[in-house]
Amino acid sequence: MKFSLEWLKYFLDTEASVAEIAAALNRIGHEVEDIEDPALRLAGFCVAKVLTAARHPDADKLQVLTVDTGEGDPLQVVCGAPNARAGMKGVLGLPGAVVPANGMELRKSAIRGIESNGMMCSVRELELGDEHDGIIELPEDAPVGTSFAEYSDTSPIFDVAITPNRPDCMGVYGIARDLAAAGLGTFKPIEIPAIEARGACPVEIRTDDPEGCPAFYGRVIKGVANGTSPEWMQRRLKAAGQRPISAVVDITNYLMLAFGRPAHAYDLAKLNGAVVARRAKSGEQVLALNEKTYTLDETMTVIADANGVHDVAGIMGGEHSGVTEDTTDVLLEIAYFDPTRIGVTGRKLGLASDARTRFERGVDPVFLDDGLALLTSLIQRICGGEASEVVRAGQPPEEAKVIAFDPTLTARLGGVAVDEAEQRRILEALDFTVGSDWQVTCPLRRHDIEGAADLVEEVVRIHGLDKVASAPLPRMDGVARPTATPLQKMERKLRRVAAGRGLDEAVTWSFLPQADADHFADGNGGLWVLDNPISEDMKAMRPSMLPGLIAAAKRNADRGADGSRLFEIGRRYFRGEGGASDERPTLGVILAGDKTARGWASGKAAQFDAFDAKAEAMALLEAAGAPVDNLMVMGEAGAQFHPGQSATLRLGPKNVLARFGALHPATLKAFDIDGPVMAVEIFLDAIPPKKGSGGFARTTYAPPALQAITRDFAFLVPSDLAANELVRAVKGADKQTIVSARVFDVFAGQGVPEGKKSVAVEVVLQPGDKSFTDTEIKAISDKVVASAAKQGAELRG
């Protein structure tokens, strides 16, 4: 909700600064979301007088003006406005000023060879309205040289978030009351004007839906002149974000924004017969003020006459009966509608409005006569006219709630001690009536007050929420036990590592189309299929992380992405024994599209291959704490993978920790994605925790005292022997001294027997307490050769 400081001060006598008001609003529970100062946008603009106006020598539509700014010599300004003339006063933007409408900074410049020292401004350029046919014309008494921000009385604008339980503060009047109660000034109650009625109301007004519309009041004003509203009203409406339309419409909007009370005005000439609040008939339609047609049903309350529906009651008026500039006779309507009915109707129609926001939260049920009197007085003062007597159909709720209050509750529930006299003052300042026995009568507009605890909240809120002392929650003695499980810690670490490797995290649905789930089910009869899915595309729970990631990569490719590097940590779901849910933590990775972009050196773009997938799998397994040095590379990654470009990583022949590689062409076809696409799936529940750590603990690093040495070995091995098998054999030759081994060369061809290949392995030896002797190194080397020989390898001569 927006309102200007000037409007607030109309109801609150205060000398508080903008910052003090904002602090007080936050302190009493009305969060200030923004403060806008229009004066800052008008810096550099001043009131100026045009002394002379002559035709530009090189342009028919331009004039050269001499302008008095009240300081120093007059300035020369080139202007194209048709209304620019000698003797008028307007608004001059000086060099350095920024035009609010377009952000252009004004500078001295030459226009068709004539120097111009600023710009005479229009209403649109200063964002004060839509007029742009000419420059602003100010009254004769406008003081030359005065800052235009000061002259136009621009006021800071507050944007305050009003919580749903405080409809009484959906108007500036309610905000002023709360601030006055908090000690920020003196509240200025409104004086309800006495209206001289001229005869009976010529229109029958009634409510045929007492549940939806308990009270429906109205009167006719004849002989109005519906022109433009006064400048002060337009200024306040614009500050609140409302566009001025016409005097009568602006007055109804003013009442709503000032007092939180929506009302409506009809063009009497467009009505036929009685004006009635009733239930809509199923299928009835109404053309609303937003120029959209809505189909109604019998649960909705409407305002209608003999011709049909004119309003969706309490939400939006109709296009056909709205007032225009030609309107001379108006029917004013002010009513109380059931909040629940308003909310249901608004949601059914998908129709939102300022009136709905207030009615569905609950307006003041007794502000009917007063609101109608204020409306009538404003219209007569601005537009003229004679008012009829008021017609009152129905009866609003009038039974006030009385609560027995114990002042000691404030300390017990609110956590702050407030003197009883101060508690009484606060409640009475908020318009509660407090008896000598602390029987508190609530104002009818306070729908949120239900019991004594709500009164405590009011006292503490106005006393100052910042005065409630912070109190730590009690805790047990000793060190608090960690709440994150080892699996949760592992998942957090994996997310950081995956992101650090350039992968983007995706979050996909846990539900899949039946066909996608079947494709990755591997014939598993434990697939979960829902009996009542929310859609056919979300019928089965995923047996793999890969289908959702493949679909995400496809969406990226369809939208022009060159490549996708996606990962997700989640759960796979299977039907366990006895129908129990079996959830298995899993990490999935998809590498699709281009690995590197094309370039002048590399030529075509490079694509991902199975070795990229293996590298991601190994790095993520290592981050998860898996013993990657002991992993075996084996086949059988699954029917979804390309059999020649995929594998599994295992600890022993049965414990599969991960699978990786290129997806099978049949899988790519099933998911309608162009290949190649590489995938990784790591089964986090299969990774064994480190012994004695209770999880994946990090050990303290202690660098070795002596320098490591390296030895190179070249072996002749069968051509079908996996290099990884040779490396594992070499590392197992002496586990205490061999800290690492890696392949650095593979050769087959001339000089190598047929059916053989040469594999060169670098072995790193780490001494312990003392350096190795030649004899010790020779003994270790013999162990390496002997261990390699078990894999069919022989040392090359």
Confirm or deny that 454 is annotated as ligand binding: yes
What type of residue is 732? Answer: G
3-state secondary structure of 168: helix
Give the whole-angstrom CA distance, residue 494 versus residue 587: 9
Question: Taken in order 512, 516, 520, 522, is the CA torsion positive or negative?
Answer: positive
| β-bridge mates for residue 138, sequence order | 89
Confirm or deny that 762 is annotated as ligand binding: no
Report the C-alpha dihedral over residues 526, 527, 528, 529, rounded to 10 degrees.
-130
HEC secondary structure over 36-90: ECHHHHCCCEEEEEEEEEEECCCCCCCEEEEEECCCCCCEEEEECCCCCCCCCEE
Nearest Cα neighbor of 496 from 619, 591, 389, 331 is 619
DSSP code for 544: -
107-115: list long-range contacts, CB under 8 Å, 24+ apart. Answer: 111/56, 111/59, 111/62, 111/78, 112/56, 112/58, 112/59, 112/62, 112/78, 113/57, 113/58, 114/56, 114/57, 114/58, 114/64, 114/76, 114/78, 115/76
| β-bridge mates for residue 581, sequence order | 575
Confirm or deny that 458 is annotated as ligand binding: yes
Residues whose CB is less than 8 angstroms from the CB of residue 300 and which lie 6 or more positions away in sequence, other chains included: 212, 279, 280, 312, 313, 341, 345, 348, 349
**Spatial contact of 333 and 264, defined as CB atoms under 8 Å apart:** yes
3-state secondary structure of 217: strand
Q: How far is CA 230 from CA 227, 250, 632, in A?
A: 9, 10, 85
Query: For the residues of 332-392, what is the DSSP string, one character each?
Result: EEEEE--HHHHHHHHHHHT---HHHHHHHH---TT-SHHHHHHHHHHHHHHH--EE-PPEE
Binding site as annotated, residues for Mg(2+) = 448, 454, 457-458
